[in-house]
Structure 1
């Protein structure tokens, strides 16, 4: 029986580095495609920790599986499980906690420097982070903060980059799970969606510059989030 449930929403937003971390820790995990209905019939009492990955859709889209996933998240929250959401996953967590998700007037894409929010310094979710760091971004929606949430991170183009709710829920707007191979795939397949004239988007050249070094540092950021998440689950 698997201890960790990972919900994905499209084939090109996989667990990526998260899966590598879980394998290195010897953690058993299930990966389900929520958009294909694979969550239906799943025993919501089974997992000890839950992760939600990204996707190109909006939580506001009229897709029947979104309501099913939000309801499952509300059950996981009621069970007090450690939950971590990436991009769309963070937006789904915000929705499950009663907050709005809205369209931004631009797309934030590329390596974006993060700023810690006021009062967030003592959060255990941020204890591993260096003074300056970036997280890879690609999103046009953003979440509002649920009632009782603690804002953790912001960027120039997105005020709400991360929040904690209670002591076990972390919602992230960016993509700390990325690997070098996955970023290369996105930049090859999605280049037509980019508009380097928008200041909120980096050019392809900027995104690819020193990619290996940037991903190595990103992996360290991700591993700190994942280590705390697994510790909370006793894994």
Structure 2
């Protein structure tokens, strides 16, 4: 398996996604766009594209952020989907997948930062790739927005603060508004990137304070993510 990551910022690190790929000895490549790495010209070498999060939105322009080319990333996602590749998006990545399929992203009803439960929908419980999550699972969050939906897509999970947490766009294409890849190391980087998380935790219902976020054990959500990715790989390779 050839796994290609698009990473938008140092603090939006792939975390458990990268751990999973390394532990299974998959071939790994990166487009670290914050270092001005180019996006791939071809998708031939890619089996799975994983698009990470970031403070940007799909509407962010090159004038606003010179290292983030939303149109180019959307084009790459479209190429991967058209060529039957597996595509997974986290947060901003999930919104870009929706945009690539013609579904505009939206603003979440609530800002969510920290660890809060998601609830699987009926479609989520039926989806064999995530049914092992159980009906309710605590996962990481760090967002204001949420992905758009196509006619064919299915919402697999929601939270109290956001109605669209996990989306299946097709058998090989999934968007995760939530951050199941979080580890203590990644959380530390994210906290450093926030201007005043402690003040926000007192202002917003679904924003936790830094100490609470750092104290959480992320192993269970990471393991659930690993199982999802293994199932996605199995479905992908079985189709070839």
Q: What TM-score results when the alignment is normalised by the length of structure 2? A: 0.88
CA distance in structure 2 between the aligned counterparts of 1:124 and 1:106, rounded to whole angstroms: 29
Q: How many residues align?
A: 231
1:45 aligns with 2:48: no
Q: 2:220 maps to what in 1?
A: 217
Report the more deviating stretch, 107-116 or 125-134.
125-134
Q: 2:140 maps to what in 1?
A: 136
The alpha-carbon deviation at position 41 of structure 1 amounts to 5.2
CA distance in structure 2 between the aligned counterparts of 1:35 and 1:189, rounded to whole angstroms: 14
The alpha-carbon deviation at position 60 of structure 1 amounts to 1.0
Report the more deviating stretch, 128-137 or 171-180.
128-137
Give 3-state SS (helix, strand or coil) of 1:10's partner. Answer: coil
Question: Aligned Cα RMSD in Å?
Answer: 2.0
Contact 1:191/1:204 (8 A) holds in 2? no
The alpha-carbon deviation at position 37 of structure 1 amounts to 4.8
Contact 1:35/1:65 (8 A) holds in 2? no
Q: Deviations over 1:107-148 (max 9, x none)?
A: 211101001113331102213213431110010111221221
Q: What TM-score results when the alignment is normalised by the length of structure 1? A: 0.90
Q: 1:13 maps to what in 2?
A: 12
Q: 2:131 maps to what in 1?
A: 127
Structure 1: which 5+ residue stretches go unaligned? none
Q: 2:183 maps to what in 1?
A: 179
Contact 2:10/2:34 (8 A) holds in 1? no
1:78-89 equivalences in 2 (<5 Å): 78-89=82-93
CA distance in structure 2 between the aligned counterparts of 1:44 and 1:34, rounded to whole angstroms: 17
Report the more deviating stretch, 2-11 or 200-209.
200-209
Q: Deviations over 1:140-160 (max 9, x none)?
A: 111221221011000001000
Contact 2:105/2:147 (8 A) holds in 1? yes
Q: Deviations over 1:171-201 (max 9, x none)?
A: 0001111111111232244261451121121
Report the more deviating stretch, 29-38 or 177-186.
29-38
1:201 aligns with 2:201: no
The alpha-carbon deviation at position 40 of structure 1 amounts to 4.1
